[in-house]
Each structure stands twice: as structure tokens, then as C-alpha cells.
């Protein structure tokens, strides 16, 4: 898979693509994601200490987690309902799979056919067929091959995945490195569902711009402690996290929700000022761009800015 080689290079920032592990010895010898444990909730260990950027974002709570870097949303129909059904179905089918290389390979092939046989929004972005639902009651998205996964008996089967166990265990998305820790803590604390959270948590520019606007209005910095005793603020942040699915200015010709964040140039949204140069100078330009907006005129720009201003005003008020 040529595209896979490219992605491996991007992921690992290394010119050598990963090779598929040769057998079970390699599988069991894989490092165990000590610092990037997508099956362990933060209350069981303190993963913040082991995460670049101080804030662990992958498995957050019994209902909030992320699988965006595993290509979660890169499917033809990424609606909440369709994806939930897909993950439920996959999880129940994987529960019956014997833990052998042959059986897991067969499962992957079947899942590839179900998802990757379709037209995907970003052709260079692999959707891992081992994403499923994990945790108490299966309410969070996570890795079915993880050694702590149900039925895996401590064996790390991620070596059988397309990315390979090393990438799975060590990769951290740009948000971990680039977004201010206080913003990450705020989002992590307010989020209540894996779907909206995973759609947004990789959108570093979008989140950073919006929360900086909120701070400007307040004249001070915000942090997760501001959410204590402020349920209205929590609600406002959750509305913000859902913005991708309700944004009225999204380009209908490119209704893409998945975010390809591995490369600064490939598969990025078009420049926001192509039709309306004034949009380039908008304080909301990074948000408008990340939302794949179509801004054909100054009047539409004004409408879009008004909507974002109202959202920022509302959150700033709720945090006061
Ligand atoms: S995209 Fe980021 S937050 Fe999400 S699972 Fe990957 S590293 Fe964790
Ligand atoms: S095998 Fe790797 S890419 Fe697939 S779900 Fe698990 S962590 Fe993600």
C-alpha cells in the first residue's frame, strides 16, 4: 500500500516505513503503550505525566475518548448514529474472534471490506478496522487489539494493525504538543461524548482561536477550574464541541468532518479568502478555515462572524 508508506513516514517522522510484524513473538514483545494507553482511564494511572504537553487526551472518562489518529472519522458516512452502529457491530463481532493471527487477519479483511471498500473522504488516511467500543458498558471508542482489551489476556496484538504496535503506542497528535495545556484541560473536563470530542480534539487552530477569543473578552486566562459550579459554561463548551456537525457555512461540496492533521499541506481546507479576500483578515479566519466554510461575500462573512461572536460571548459570560 503506497499510501500507507507515506503515512508511516508522516506518523513517525522517519523515512523508513514500518514493516508488518513477522509473527507472535514480535507481537508479544511489543512495547506496551505505557505512556499512551488507550484502554486505561486517567483515574487508574496519571498519564498526564507521561504525555507530551502535560495533558492526556486519549481516554478521558467512561464516555469520552478519541480515536481520531486511528482514522475513526474517515468513513463515508461519519454521522454519530452510523458510526455508533459500526463500532457496536465491530466490537461484538471481534468478541467472537479467536485470538490467533489468522483469525484477527480475517476479521481485519472483513472490516476493511465493510469500510474501506467504500469511498473514503481522505484517501491517504487509513481507517483502522480495530477501532471499537471499550470500557465499562462499551461507551468509549478505543483499540480492540490493546493488551488490556477484553479477551486479549494481556497480549498486545497491535502489531497486526496497519500502523504497527510502535506507532500505535507512541504517537501523539499535534494538539498534545501545540495546544495550551489550560485549553486542553478545559475541553477534557467539559466533554461528555466521544463523538464530538474526537471530532474536535485534533483541531488545534480552531480550539485555540476560539478559546483565545473567549479569554480576550474576559481579560484573563481560563482553565478547567473555572468550570466548577458553572454548568452553563460546561453546556456552552459542549455546544462548541458540536460545531462541526451543525456549522451552517460548511461547503456542501466538501462535507468533510474528518481532520487530516498529519501534514500541514496535504488534504487541508482551501484558503478562506478565495472568494472574499476580507475573510483572510477576520479574527475568526482559522476557525472559518478549519470548518471548511464557504464565504462568498462580506455579508456572509459578517453572518459567520456574528455566530462565532455570540458563541464566544456566551461562554465568556458563563465563565464570569
Ligand atoms: S488523535 Fe490525539 S487525542 Fe486522539 S487518540 Fe490520537 S493522540 Fe490521542
Ligand atoms: S491498532 Fe493502532 S491504529 Fe488500530 S485502533 Fe489500535 S491503536 Fe488505533
Q: Which atom of ligand 1 is closest in space to residue 67's alpha carbon?
A: 5
Going by CA atoms, what residue is nearest to atom 8 of ligand 1? 58
The residue with greater pLDDT, 122 or 3, is 122
Span 250-259, pLDDT tens digits = 999 888 899 9
Burial class (CB in 10 A: 0-12, 13-18, 19+), 139: middle
User: 39 CB less than 6 Å from ligand 2?
Assistant: no
State yes or no: pLDDT of 308 exceeds 70: yes
Q: Which residues contact 247 (CB under 8 A, 6 or more apart)?
A: 291, 293
User: 69 CB less than 6 Å from ligand 2?
Assistant: no
Instruction: Give 59 Cα–ligand 1 centroid separation in angstroms.
Output: 9
State yes or no: pLDDT of 205 exceeds 70: yes
Q: Which atom of ligand 1 is closest in space to residue 261's alpha carbon?
A: 1
Q: Which atom of ligand 2 is closest in space to residue 160's alpha carbon?
A: 1
Ligand sitting nearest the alpha carbon of 201: 1
CA–CA dist 122, 204 (Å, integer): 19
Q: pLDDT grade, residue 310 (50/70/90)? A: very high
Decide: helix, strand or coil at residue 75: coil
Backbone angles phi, psi at 293, to 5 degrees: -75, 155
The pLDDT score that the predictor gives to residue 116 is: 55
* Distance from chain centroid for Cα 319: 26
State yes or no: pLDDT of 81 exceeds 60: yes
Span 261-279, pLDDT tens digits = 998 788 999 999 999 999 9
User: 145 CB less than 6 Å from ligand 2?
Assistant: yes
Task: Determine how β-strand 131-134 pairs with β-strand 140-143.
Answer: antiparallel
- Average pLDDT on 81-97 reads 95
* Distance from chain centroid for Cα 314: 25
State yes or no: pLDDT of 38 exceeds 90: no
The pLDDT score that the predictor gives to residue 44 is: 52
Tell me what the pLDDT averaged over the chain comes to: 86
CA–CA dist 165, 12 (Å, integer): 12
The pLDDT score that the predictor gives to residue 109 is: 87
Instruction: Give 33 Cα–ligand 1 centroid separation in angstroms.
Output: 13
Q: Which of 129, 274, 257, 131 is nearest to 200 (CA)?
A: 257
* Secondary-structure breakdown of the chain: helix, strand, coil percentages, each rounded to the nearest 5: 50, 5, 50
Ligand sitting nearest the alpha carbon of 169: 2
Amino acid at each position: 500500500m503506497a499510501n500507507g508508506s507515506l503515512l508511516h513516514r508522516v506518523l513517525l517522522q522517519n523515512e523508513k516505513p514500518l514493516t508488518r510484524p513477522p509473527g507472535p513473538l514480535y507481537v508479544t514483545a511489543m512495547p506496551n503503550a505505557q505512556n499512551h494507553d488507550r484502554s486505561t482511564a486517567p483515574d487508574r494511572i496519571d498519564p498526564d505525566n507521561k504525555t507530551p504537553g502535560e495533558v492526556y487526551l486519549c481516554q478521558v472518562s467512561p464516555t469520552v475518548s478519541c480515536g481520531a489518529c486511528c482514522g475513526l472519522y474517515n468513513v463515508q458516512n461519519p454521522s454519530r448514529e452510523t458510526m455508533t452502529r459500526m463500532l457496536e457491530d465491530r466490537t461484538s463481532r471481534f468478541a467472537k474472534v479467536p485470538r490467533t493471527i489468522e483469525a484477527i487477519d480475517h476479521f481485519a479483511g472483513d472490516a476493511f471490506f465493510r469500510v474501506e471498500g467504500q469511498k473514503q473522504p481522505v484517501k491517504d488516511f487509513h481507517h483502522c478496522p480495530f477501532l471499537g467500543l471499550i470500557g465499562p458498558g462499551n461507551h468509549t471508542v478505543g483499540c480492540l487489539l490493546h493488551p488490556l482489551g477484553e479477551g486479549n489476556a494481556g497480549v498486545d496484538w497491535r502489531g497486526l494493525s496497519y500502523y504497527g504496535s510502535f506507532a500505535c503506542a507512541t504517537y501523539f497528535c499535534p494538539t498534545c504538543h501545540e495546544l495550551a495545556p489550560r485549553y486542553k484541560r478545559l475541553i477534557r473536563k467539559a466533554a461528555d461524548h466521544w463523538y464530538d470530542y474526537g471530532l474536535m480534539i485534533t483541531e488545534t487552530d480552531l480550539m485555540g482561536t476560539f478559546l483565545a477569543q473567549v479569554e480576550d473578552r474576559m481579560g484573563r486566562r481560563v482553565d478547567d477550574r473555572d468550570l466548577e459550579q458553572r454548568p452553563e459554561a460546561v453546556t456552552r463548551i459542549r455546544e462548541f464541541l458540536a460545531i462541526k456537525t451543525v456549522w451552517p457555512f460548511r461547503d456542501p461540496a466538501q462535507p468533510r468532518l474528518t481532520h487530516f492533521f498529519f501534514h500541514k499541506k496535504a488534504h487541508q481546507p482551501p484558503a478562506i479568502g478565495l472568494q472574499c479576500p476580507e475573510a483572510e483578515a477576520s479574527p475568526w479566519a482559522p476557525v472559518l478555515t478549519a470548518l471548511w466554510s464557504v464565504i462568498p461575500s462580506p455579508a456572509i462573512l459578517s453572518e459567520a462572524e456574528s455566530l462565532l461572536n455570540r458563541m464566544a460571548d456566551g461562554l465568556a459570560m458563563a465563565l464570569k
